Amino acid sequence: MAKVNLPKTRLPESYYFLQPSNPVLVTTLEPDGTTHVAPFSWVTPVSVNPPRVGLALLNSPKKQHTLKNIEREGEFVINLPNLDIAERLVKCSYMVEPGQKKFTLAGFTAIPSREVKPCGVAECRAHMECRVLSITETGDHSFIVADVVHCQVSVKYYPRCWVAVVSIKEPLPNHLRGRG
C-alpha cells in the first residue's frame, strides 16, 4: 500500500482521517433557564468505570456558546440523533438572531432529565446526562471530561446488549470535516 507523508504545514488537517463521525446534539442551560441545543461530533468515551465521556468544543478564535453554558452550569446532555432528524440537527448549527432559540426553531420536544438541569431531546434515540469533571484547554478547543450520571435509551434502537441496530432503511447520521 503506497503512502505519502503530510508536510508539517498540513498537519492541522490530520483530523480529517478520523472522519466521518457520528454527530450528537448537546443541550445546555442558558442564563435565563431556557434550553440551548447545538450539534457536535468531537465526542468520545474516555472511561467505562466510572462512566465518562469527553467532548471537544471550540474556544478560539471565539468561544462556542455551548462551552460558555457548560463552564457556567457544569452540566449538559448528549443526545444521540437518528437520520430522520438530520435536517433539524443541521439547522441547529446555524447562527440565529438574538432572542431566537434553536431548540424551538428546530421543533424539538423537551424530555426532562433525572440528574441534571438541562433537558434531553425527545426525538433522539438516547440521552446521556453529564456532569463536568474537568475542562482543559488543548489549543483552539477545550476538552471537557464529564461523568455520565444517567442514561436513557430507546429499546427500538437498542433492543439487545445496548448495541445500536442500524439498517439501510434507518442509518445513523454522519459528520464530515467540521471543527467540533
Instruction: Judge whether 180 and 40 are in contact, CB under 8 Å.
Output: yes
Distance of CA 25 to the CA centre of its chain: 4
Instruction: Render the burial of 102-134: b for 16+ CB within 10 Å, e for the rest.
Output: bbeebebeebebeebbbbbbebbbbbbbbebbe
The sign of the CA dihedral 35, 123, 179, 91 is negative
pTM over 0.95: no
The 10s digit of each residue's pLDDT in 96-142 is 998 899 999 999 999 999 999 999 999 999 999 999 999 999 999 99
Architecture of the 13-153 domain: Roll (2.30)
Q: What nine digits make up the cell of 1?
A: 500500500
What angle (nearest 5°) sits at the alpha carbon of residue 36, between those of residues 127 and 113?
Answer: 35
* Radius of gyration from C-alpha coordinates of the chain: 17
Spatial CB neighbours of 179, under 8 Å, sequence gap ≥ 6: 58, 140, 141
The 10s digit of each residue's pLDDT in 43-93 is 999 999 999 999 999 999 999 999 999 999 999 999 999 888 999 999 999
Predicted confidence at residue 175, as pLDDT, reads 45
Distance of CA 147 to the CA centre of its chain: 15
Q: Where are the domains of the chain?
A: 13-153
The 10s digit of each residue's pLDDT in 149-175 is 999 998 887 776 665 555 555 555 544
Predicted confidence at residue 164, as pLDDT, reads 57
Distance CA 50, CA 45 (A): 11
Predicted confidence at residue 83, as pLDDT, reads 86
Q: HEC string of the chain?
A: CCCCCCCHHHHHHHHHHHCCECCEEEEEECCCCCEEEEEECCEEEEECCCCEEEEEEECCCCCCHHHHHHHHHCEEEEEECCHHHHHHHHHCCCCCCCCCCHHHHCCCCEECCCCCCCCEECCCCEEEEEEEEEEEECCCEEEEEEEEEEEEECCCCCCCCCCCCCCCCCCCCCECCCCC
